[in-house]
Amino acid sequence: MLKTIKIPLIATFIVAFMFILQGLQIINLAKMELERDNFFDLFIKSNELKNNISSINYKS
């Protein structure tokens, strides 16, 4: 009786562990996507700032 319960129980824990790992991977990928978007937003804003500073220098 113990062997018949043991195998499905181990399989259940393995599947649950795999779901947890998959969830962590999804969270990590989402975090990387946000960091990449923030980097490109900062890059665009820095270019806009450079253009604004350049236009101020040419006016004076």
Residue with the two structure tokens 């999804």: 26
Evaluate the CA torsion angle 33, 34, 36, 41 in order and state its sign: positive
Taking the C-alpha atoms of residue 13 and residue 2, their distance in angstroms, rounded to an integer, is 16
Mean residue pLDDT of the chain comes to 81
**Please, what is the end-to-end C-alpha distance for the chain in angstroms?**
90
Question: Which tokens hold the place of 13?
Answer: 């824990």
- Model confidence at 28, pLDDT cuts 50, 70, 90, reads confident
Give the per-residue pLDDT at 57.
Answer: 63
Overall domain count for the chain: 1
In a domain, 60, yes or no: yes
Which of the two residues, 21 and 60, has the higher pLDDT score? Answer: 21
Average pLDDT estimate for 26-51: 77
> 28 or 54: whose pLDDT is higher?
28
Residue 33, pLDDT above cutoff 60: yes
Is 44 a member of any domain? Answer: yes
User: Which domain, by its residues, includes 42?
Assistant: 28-60
